[in-house]
Amino acid sequence: MEPKRVATQPFTDQRPGTSGLRKRVRVFEQPNYLENFVQAIFDTQKGLAGGVLVVGGDGRYYNRTATQTILRMAAANRVAKVLVGRGGILSTPAASCVIRKYRTGGGIVLSASHNPGGPDADFGIKFNVAAGGPAPESVTEAIYARTREIGAYFTVDSPEIDLDRLGTSTLGGMTVEVIDPVADYADLMASLFDFPAIHQLFNSGLFRMRFDAMHAVTGPYAIEILENRIGAEPGTVINGEPLEDFGGGHPDPNLAHAQELVAMTQGTDGLDFAAASDGDGDRNMILGKNFFVTPSDSLAVLAANAHQAPGYKDGIVGVARSMPTSQAADRVAEQLGIECYETPTGWKFFGNLLDAGRITLCGEESFGTGSDHVREKDGLWAVLFWLNLLAARKQSVKDIVHEHWRRFGRNFYTRHDYEGVDAKAAADLVDHLRILLPELPGKRLGAYQVEYADDFAYVDPVDGSRSDRQGVRIGFEGGSRVVFRLSGTGTEGATLRVYIEAYESDPVKHDQDPQTALQPLILIARELAQIEARLGRAEPDVIT
Ligand code: VG1
Ligand code: CO
């Protein structure tokens, strides 16, 4: 089976965003579109030839087609072996786990994460490096540069590989091993958390929980881990059957898109614990009875309590958070006397810090939390960590968080998203803010005194690489902040994200609703950015 060279023309729009290349399925279905991007990976990542590659995705529409295409191209590009999840499935954290465990050369992950799926919705592809994490900017930029000049791709003529049967077959000179997508990941979780203690909690008769897989990839993972291995009652996992279109839903675990689950936690009969994950399994939402844990707080609580889980019993060496994430984790790091890093948005920026052993835990405000166990954020991991805490501390979610606030103070936090706005108007809005920046320090905005105002730039402390223009931030005296940035994961128009944070040390005030507590800052942010005038939107589409 000789490699076949197919002539192609470059596409101009294949620059990866915050997390890989995400486009409408219709865009990926154009002849050569997927092939060009995949060939650009092989052309730039020379080490893949002769090595082992992991392939898998979140199971959305086009996952299987793309998997077959990638397998043929991998064979033509002289990859020695591909490990592929059964059915073409691997959650994003499971892909990272497999890449690392079998010391492979990297992986290709097929996902558009929390974006809807289906023939009229979104698809995505990204390359993860041998350490298991999303490729750093230097690599994604090299892949993009290659897509701009590509003239041919390589494939083989072959029948489809049977992706549904575990075991090994060959494709040209390449070995294809279809692996159980859940087993390695489930074993890793069992090594980190106290499954027997969680089992006892489940069996106490005093604890009711649900995990909402949102008809996305985590269903089989959650059923295996929570129900089969730990012994939660059958039916604990809801919407557990993965569907190519996620049942028509928006597989984004937040207060706007997981309302069914939120409702189950409310009232006197509400569940004690509920959690959800996103399309590709790397996000998490944590809910207690009548209580929502803000992701930024979740990171801080896990950092403060990490030693309670067996996998972290010796404590943590440092934490990192993305810039727009609240500073709650910083306060924990300060008390623990460990390093705290502030990185740009996107998991790829945590990779070097994790590899260098400078941090153990990291997280983002966008429902992403993780640790050095893999190199992706990890939804079920966060859920198990919380269950482990609940079992160890024998307290409710709400009590754990309130106690945390009493000890460290509360960072009130919210994110307001203006979705699908005009891309030019959104870019102009950010430019307008950039122009304002130099005059802001020292100024009074309402009751707040501006301490600093900048466009966040990050110099990676490990390799010295620099990333500019990562978001406009305006910091006020006392630790309050507003941050503005444009989304890098959308596929239509632009999305403006406004992040608002205020610190409150007085426990008497900790019970306020964040939207109320933050109202003055919300208004300042809207006015400063001229949001309504520029975007024609009086209110955000999504509040998290
Ligand atoms: C969003 C989030 C970001 C996250 C990224 C990928 O990016 O804000 O924190 O890392 O999605 O998450 P953006 O550029 O749209 O703000 V997911 O679950 O794709 O893997
Ligand atoms: Co995701």
DSSP letters along 97-135, please?
HHHHHTT-S-EEEE--TTS--STTSEEEEEEE-TTSSBP
| C-alpha count within 13 angstroms, C-beta hemisphere, residue 256 | 14
Q: Which CATH architecture is the domain 4-180 placed in? A: 3-Layer(aba) Sandwich (3.40)
3-state SS string for 359-381: CCEEEECCCEEEECCCCCCCHHH
CA of 488 to the centre of ligand 1 (A): 7
Every domain of the chain and the residues it spans: 4-180, 185-408, 410-543
**Nearest ligand, CA of residue 91?**
2
Matching fold, domains 4-180 and 410-543: no
Closest approach atom of ligand 1 to CA 282: 18
Which residue's CA is minimally distant from atom 16 of ligand 1? 487
**Distance from Cα 57 to the centre of ligand 1, integer Å:** 17
Pairing of strands 209-212, 237-238: parallel
The per-residue DSSP string of 480-515 comes to -EEEEEE-SS-SSSEEEEEEEEEEE--GGGTTS-HH
Contacts of 513 (CB under 8 A, 6+ apart): none
Q: How far is CA 255 from CA 55, 62, 298, 367, in A?
A: 32, 28, 15, 11
Rounded distance, CA 317 to CA 494, Å?
Answer: 38
Q: Ligand 1: which of 345, 350, 374 to mutate, most ligand atoms within 8 Å of CB?
A: 345
Atom number in ligand 1 closest to CA 113: 19
Q: Which residue's CA lies nearest to atom 8 of ligand 1?
A: 366
pLDDT in tens, the chain (544 residues): 789 999 999 999 999 998 899 999 999 999 999 999 999 999 999 999 999 999 999 999 999 999 999 999 999 999 999 999 999 999 999 999 999 999 999 999 999 999 999 999 999 999 999 999 999 999 999 999 999 999 999 999 999 999 999 999 999 999 999 999 999 999 999 999 999 999 999 999 889 999 999 999 999 999 999 999 999 999 999 999 999 999 998 999 999 889 999 999 999 999 999 999 999 999 999 999 999 999 999 999 999 999 999 999 999 999 999 999 999 999 999 999 999 999 999 999 999 999 999 999 999 999 999 999 999 999 999 999 999 999 999 999 999 999 999 999 999 999 999 999 999 999 999 999 999 999 999 999 999 999 999 999 999 999 999 999 999 999 999 999 999 999 988 788 899 999 999 999 999 999 999 999 999 999 999 999 999 999 999 999 999 9
Q: Whose CA is nearest to atom 15 of ligand 1?
A: 487
Report CA(100)–ligand 2 centroid distance (Å): 19
Q: With contact defined as beta carbons under 8 Å apart, do 289 and 270 qualify? A: yes
Which ligand 1 atom minimizes the distance to the CA of 488?
A: 14
Please tell me the residue having the least CA distance from ligand 1 atom 4: 346
| Residues counted in the chain | 544
Among the four given CATH numbers 3.40.50.1220, 3.50.50.60, 3.40.225.10, 3.40.120.10, the one describing domain 185-408 = 3.40.120.10
CA of 271 to the centre of ligand 1 (A): 29
- Contact (Cβ atoms closer than 8 angstroms) between residue 278 and residue 114: yes
Predicted structure pTM score? 0.95
From 19, 110, 296, 421, mutation site for ligand 1 pocket: most ligand atoms within 8 A of C-beta: 19
3-state secondary structure of 248: helix
Residues annotated catalytic, as ranges: 113
**What is the Cα–Cα distance from 83 to 56, expressed in whole angstroms?**
8
The Å distance, Cα 5 to ligand 1 centre, comes to 36
CATH of domain 410-543: 3.30.310.50
Ligand 1-lining residues (CB < 6 angstroms)? 18-19, 113-114, 278, 282-283, 322, 345-347, 364, 366, 368, 487-489, 497
